[in-house]
């Protein structure tokens, strides 16, 4: 397929490489041109503008950090230049209201929006083992199957409305973020009693919490490896705000979200915004008088 790809950040680079390796005709664009160098050396084309990238593409994928970046790309050439009948496959984590508005705009332009946010860290993306949460019109979803197969290990379809995929991805990030925050509390508690963090991680990873979320993030917390970034604390705060906005719109109370968001805010206030979002555990340690 003729694929355009916008957004070569930590996740985007791995996803784009998987598409190229699967034999798709890939053209990329990134605000920072240097980030496109490696994949262009591997065989991808480069478009200097969003409009040039969209010109003859069947599907344009965006993997962008937030709603502001997505809206800038859409208004900066994607909506005007994407051919009629083409698909915009939005793979970043975005707000429900943003996707609702974007779905309407694409429909008016004769295009189709499919939302397919992904679950997994950058190493998982590079290995093609992402979990994809996808939603959109049936015909467009079927056209995207070869792309899903190149990118992920499994695709979960949540319906025909793109906003449903956003709701599931945000809910997943909410659960994961709260799990990390609670682990931070637990690690601080046992450390106060002289227990090494590595021992607490061993208990979690060997018992009923022997799941990737607790194994991976528990190890990061035990090692204080917050500079091995999968998702930054700043992006975590973005997700927390999107979760709370979605909950407000649907009148769903999420009391745990406030504790998670407050720890993220504290970590960012202490200068840790660009570190992995598990740094909320360090913020908890500070609040506990341990750091």
Q: What percent of the chain has pLDDT over 90?
A: 100
> Between the CA of residue 202 and those of 153, 219, 225, what are the distances in Å?
28, 9, 16
pLDDT score at 269:
98
Where is 242: in which H helix or E strand?
helix 233-250
Cα–Cα dist 2/24, whole Å: 6
Cα–Cα dist 214/201, whole Å: 8
Per-residue pLDDT of 228-238, as tens digits, reads 999 999 999 99
Burial class (CB in 10 A: 0-12, 13-18, 19+), 67: buried
Ordered by start, the domain boundaries in the chain are 2-159, 168-287
DSSP bridge pairs for 157: 134
* Rounded average pLDDT over 151-175: 97
Question: Quick check: do 2-159 and 168-287 share a fold?
Answer: no
Per-residue pLDDT of 242-281, as tens digits, reads 999 999 999 999 999 999 999 999 999 999 999 999 999 9
**CATH class of the domain whose range is 2-159:** alpha beta
pLDDT score at 202:
97
Instruction: Kindly state the tokens that stand for 53.
Output: 């990238």
Instruction: Kindly state the tokens that stand for 171.
Output: 């809910």
Q: What percent of the chain has pLDDT over 70?
A: 100
Per-residue pLDDT of 18-42, as tens digits, reads 999 999 999 999 999 999 999 999 9
What CATH code would you report for 168-287? 1.10.1040.10
* Rounded average pLDDT over 136-158: 97
* Rounded average pLDDT over 98-117: 98
Give the residue numbers marked as catalytic.
169
């Amino acid at each position: 397929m003729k694929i355009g790809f916008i957004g070569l950040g930590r996740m985007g680079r791995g996803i784009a490489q998987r598409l190229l390796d699967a034999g798709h005709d890939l053209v990329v664009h990134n605000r920072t041109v240097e980030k496109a160098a490696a994949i262009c050396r591997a065989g991808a084309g480069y478009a200097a503008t969003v409009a040039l990238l969209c010109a003859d593409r069947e599907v344009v994928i965006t993997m962008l950090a937030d709603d502001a970046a997505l809206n800038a790309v859409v208004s900066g050439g994607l909506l005007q230049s994407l051919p009629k009948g083409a698909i915009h496959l939005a793979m970043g984590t975005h707000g429900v209201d943003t996707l609702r508005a974007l779905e309407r705009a694409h429909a008016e332009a004769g295009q189709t929006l499919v939302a397919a946010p992904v679950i997994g860290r950058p190493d998982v993306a590079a290995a093609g083992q992402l979990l994809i949460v996808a939603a959109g019109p049936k015909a467009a979803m079927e056209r995207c199957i070869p792309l899903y197969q190149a990118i992920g290990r499994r695709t979960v379809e949540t319906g025909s409305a793109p906003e449903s995929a956003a709701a599931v991805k945000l809910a997943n990030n909410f659960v994961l973020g709260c799990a990390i925050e609670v682990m931070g509390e637990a690690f601080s508690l046992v450390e106060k009693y002289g227990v090494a963090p590595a021992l607490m991680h061993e208990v979690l990873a060997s018992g009923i919490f022997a799941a990737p979320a607790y194994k991976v993030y528990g190890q990061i917390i035990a090692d204080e490896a917050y500079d091995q970034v999968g998702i930054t604390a700043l992006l975590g705060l973005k997700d927390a705000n999107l979760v709370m906005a979605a909950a407000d719109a649907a009148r769903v109370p999420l009391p745990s979200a406030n504790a998670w968001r407050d720890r993220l805010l504290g970590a960012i206030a202490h200068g840790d915004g660009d570190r992995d979002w598990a740094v909320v555990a360090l913020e908890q340690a500070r609040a506990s008088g341990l750091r």
